[in-house]
Chain A
Amino acid sequence: MALPEAILQVEDLVKYYGDRGNVTKALQGISFRIRKGEFVGVMGPSGSGKTTLLNVVSTIDTPTSGQVVVGGRELTRLKGRELARFRREHLGFIFQEFNLLDTLTLRENIGLALSIAGNQRDADRRVVEVARRLGIEDVLDKFPYQVSGGQKQRAAAARAIINDPDLILADEPTGSLDSRSAQMLLEAMGDLNQEMGATIMLVTHDPFAASYCHRILFIKDGQLFTELVRGDAGRKSFFDQIMSVLGLLGGGSEDVR
């Protein structure tokens, strides 16, 4: 059976910060691939470079050297309009702090991604459909400050998926949520992955969140440390496997919640 095509291809990625006197080597030549339909977690202790990796892959930051290819296009070559167009057509984002606009209702927040893309056809219907899938249909006309954290984060997930992007990038999406809301969100993300075929890269240091993924990339000191594939294992046993790798990784158990 042929493997699905690689949606994300990271080759020898290097990112240094700072000036001559004081250089932080956040990424030191990391390489990996994520295939279409995968739900991949990225884990590592604080300062391991996972946020930097996400920033570079999500075009928020530019790499010092190396390549990032998404859907066959090299990100570092993209400029200006192309970059904006790329973001709206190929990428979706979910952040720890939700990043919803508090001047817009949830419906408008979700629809914003569509209207920025100039994709207004069936907009209302599509918003409602995604909202139903994520269980926030009833609160669509409320403002962000009127709903719970979990509902906000699911609205952010809805906004990320609405344009049917090649890759959804999630940065600690459960970081600000209580455990029940976190569980609901992760189940919803699992649904998006299973039923809508969304490819998701989830950066987290929460092993519970990671246990929803198919495959985990462990990063340490800006390099790939190891990789864990869930395969046919149940979530509970995958969680245990993750915990043992984290034990190996070290980097302070206080990072593990």
Chain B
Amino acid sequence: MYANLAWRNIRRSLRDYSIYFLTLVFAVAIFYVFNSLADQPAMLAMRESTRRLAEATVKVLSWLTVIMTGVVALLVLYANRVIMKKRSRELGTYLLLGMEQGRLAILLLAEIATIGMAALLVGLAGGVILSQGFALVVSRVFAAGLTSHTFVFSKSAAVRTLICYGLTFFFVGIWQAAVLYRQKLIDLINGSRKNEAIPVRNRAAALTAGMLSLVTIGFVYWLADQVSRDPFINPRDGRIWLGMALAVGATYLLFFAAGGLLTGVKGRMSGLLGRGLSRFVYRQVTSKINTHTSMLATIALMLTFTICAMSFGLGLGEGFKQELEKETPFDYEISSSSPQEDYQQILDLFDQYGVTEREEVRVVRFETDLTNRDLMLPNDAAWFEGYGEGVHMTDLYLNVVSASAYQQLRRMKGYKAVEQPPSSFLIHTAASGAEPEHSRAQQAFQRFLESGSRLELGGQSLYPGSTKLYTEPLLSFMSSMAATLVVPDDVAAALEGVDSRLLVKLGVPAPEELDYAVMAAVEQATRSMEDGWMWAEIRAEAMATVYGLEAMLVFITFYMGVMFILISATLLSLQQVTDAVEHRQRFTVLRKLGADERMIDGAIASQLAFYFLTPVVVALMHSMAAMIALARLFRLVTGYTTVWPATLVTLGIFCVIYGAYYLLSLQSCRRLFREPHPEHS
């Protein structure tokens, strides 16, 4: 009979608390999915350097998931309190019929444990299914180039999930049972009748709080705008922390004020509120805001964090990738301190590994006494003397390359060929960056070219071959603050070389082993030299690192974001269930007053929608301000605008999860309010 009783209660619990159960299933599934990362087949297909970062990601994620399990445990505890409150009369009845309190506690423990275990198994199964799709994501993010797809089951992730969530449910069960064990019978019997206290807010205080919070929020937005215009902002800058603290405080204040002010609105707005059940809905929502002030504010902040962190995390990863495209335009850039280096040894390696489909060019950098100043009109040069401290930009020595090497570089990258007449020079400089100094320098070079000023070099007098300044990303030194001078080959031949580079572009991807062989050869060469060096910049290797970094950002922000949305949505949904008893009475009264089912359904839907949307509106407002600032800062620092697409992705994910919870709550609310009296019959 006891077992029978427990089983029936569980079945009812499942029906009534589908939201709670679903959250557990989701949490377990997500936990498994992110912990299964280590055993994803994409991990084995990765380059060594990606894998090392991926392993770090796995480590961070596994800690993060454990911490989040703690948060979920609190949520589960809260949900169980809600359930207990709703069932207190039933539990009291058992005691009155003479069940021993200890046995009742064990019954409850068994119930919670069973629901937990069920959620654990369903969640694990769901996680295993989800992780199949996750495998594709992992492969894509790490650019592992996985083609065949096998079924993935991570035993270690499954074990971790079982232990973490098993313990969570067990301890929550024990805790809840202990609470029940110490509960007084009279509180149980009267428990479900207690109404929640509706705080009466002082209108004047609410108004003051409202003004104060709006002013503070305005100030924080302004501060964010200010900070975002400073490209050299230190992440530990006091203004950032001040802004965050103020924003948190102001948000709580805002909800407090809203609760007080909205409840105080009298029936004056009869035009808008007078129709149908809108006034009823309005009162329902405002009374909720009033009673759940801090919870709503917390949810709004959590959602803000989620939207910002996810957008920024995803955007930053994408930004890294684009940055790298710029910094390593060629597949291989081997450099040597010797201008005479012929790189034959390296080229032999390519042949050895069968990489014959390739283009290459050897570039020598030449030495001169010329500096940036020599490419500027005197007026412009003078401006720089007065700008900033330390080494002036005008004192930087120019890089010089030969015209033939330059043309070859351009051809290999697919840039338009540049006409360079004999006895002429071209200027190549970095694309305009964040520093005002930089764009100023570009303007100065431009004016120099347009003035047709001549330049004495290698015993020749050179004139500007073009009035155009070239800025395409070609070589790392060509993207530096010192301008690069392109001179005719015969002029270059008369100059002294500083160092040299070999640039290689491949037609097909090279085997990973070739890269290791190249790196080994370069290292060997450096070691055998007296005081020279050789260095290899391999794009695939650098990319692998970036993919690893990007993946870390993507997975961590993604995990945090999804969990936060999940927790927020669950809290909102649970609130509805908690108040179901009270609401049911109100809806029963409405029915008796002649509201038909369609009106009631509509009222439930809009009440719920308003309730769900309130924190979102605030969160969107905050994130909008934060994202505008972040995007600007991001563009200033990296030169990319990858944040906005990422924001769209984030909002999409958010809408799906949040929407699902809204629909679920709607369904369960409608069912709860429709049933005449499901519990104490």
Give the residues in chain A near B9, CB-CB below 8 Å. Answer: 103
Does B51 make an interface contact (CB < 8 A)? no
Given A102-B679, A112-B1; A61-B95 close (CB under 8 Å): no
Indicate if A115 sits at the interface (CB-CB under 8 A).
yes
For B97, give its contact among A80, A86, A116, A143 (CB under 8 Å).
A116
Which residues of A have CB within 8 Å of B1? 111-112, 115-116, 120
Interface-lining segment among B86-94, B159-167, B171-179, B576-584: B86-94
Q: Is there contact, CB below 8 Å, between A85 and B678?
A: no
Question: A173 on the interface (CB 8 Å rule)?
Answer: no
Q: Are B98 and A87 in contact (CB under 8 A)?
A: yes
For chain A, the count of residues having a C-beta within 8 Å of the partner chain is 36
Interface string of A51-95 (1 = CB under 8 A from B): 000010011110000000000000000001100111111010100
A226 at interface by CB-CB < 8 Å: no
B677 contacts partner chain A, Cβ-Cβ < 8 Å? yes
Interchain CB contact under 8 A, B100 and A101: no
Question: Is A50 engaged at the interface, CB distance under 8 Å to the other chain?
Answer: no
Q: How far is the CA of A97 from the CA of B93 in the complex (A)?
A: 11
Interchain CA distance A61-B185 in the complex, whole Å: 7
B56 part of interface (Cβ distance < 8 Å): no
| CB-based contact A84/B12 at 8 Å | no
Instruction: Please measure, in the bound complex, the distance between the C-alpha atom of A120 and the C-alpha atom of B4, giving whole angstroms.
Output: 15
> Which residues of chain B are within 8 angstroms of A111 by Cβ–Cβ distance?
1
Cβ–Cβ < 8 Å partners of B8 in chain A = 103-104
Chain B contacts of A131 at CB under 8 A? none
Q: Does A152 contact B (CB under 8 A)?
A: yes
- Cβ-closest chain B residue relative to A111: B1
Residues of B within 8 A of A120 (CB): 1
Q: Which residues on B sit within 8 Å (CB–CB) of A101?
A: 90, 93
Shortest distance from the beta carbon of B10 to any chain A beta carbon, whole Å: 9
Q: Which residue of B89, B93, B97, B675 has the most chain A CB atoms within 10 A of its CB atom?
A: B97
Known contacts: A84-B101, A116-B98. The answer to whether A60 contacts B186 by CB under 8 A is yes
Q: CB distance A88 to B97 under 8 Å? A: yes
Q: A100 — which chain B residues lie within 8 A by C-beta?
A: 680-681
Q: How far is the CA of A85 from the CA of B93 in the complex (A)?
A: 14
Whether B244 sits at the interface, judged by CB under 8 Å, is: no
Which of A60, A88, A98, A104 is packed against the most chain B CB atoms within 10 Å? A60
On chain A, the residues within 8 Å of B413 by CB distance are none
A237 interfacial by beta-carbon distance below 8 Å: no
A–B complex contacts, Cβ < 8 Å, 16 sampled:
A55-B186, A60-B185, A60-B186, A81-B100, A86-B98, A88-B98, A93-B97, A99-B96, A102-B12, A111-B1, A112-B5, A115-B2, A116-B1, A117-B98, A145-B677, A159-B97
- Measuring CB to CB, which residues of chain B are less than 8 angstroms from any residue of chain A? 1-2, 4-5, 8-9, 11-12, 89-90, 92-102, 185-186, 189, 675-681
User: What would 18 more interface pairs be, CB under 8 Å, given A101-B90, A116-B97, A145-B677?
Assistant: A60-B186, A61-B185, A80-B101, A84-B99, A87-B97, A88-B97, A89-B98, A98-B680, A99-B89, A101-B93, A102-B680, A103-B9, A111-B1, A112-B97, A113-B97, A116-B94, A117-B98, A152-B681
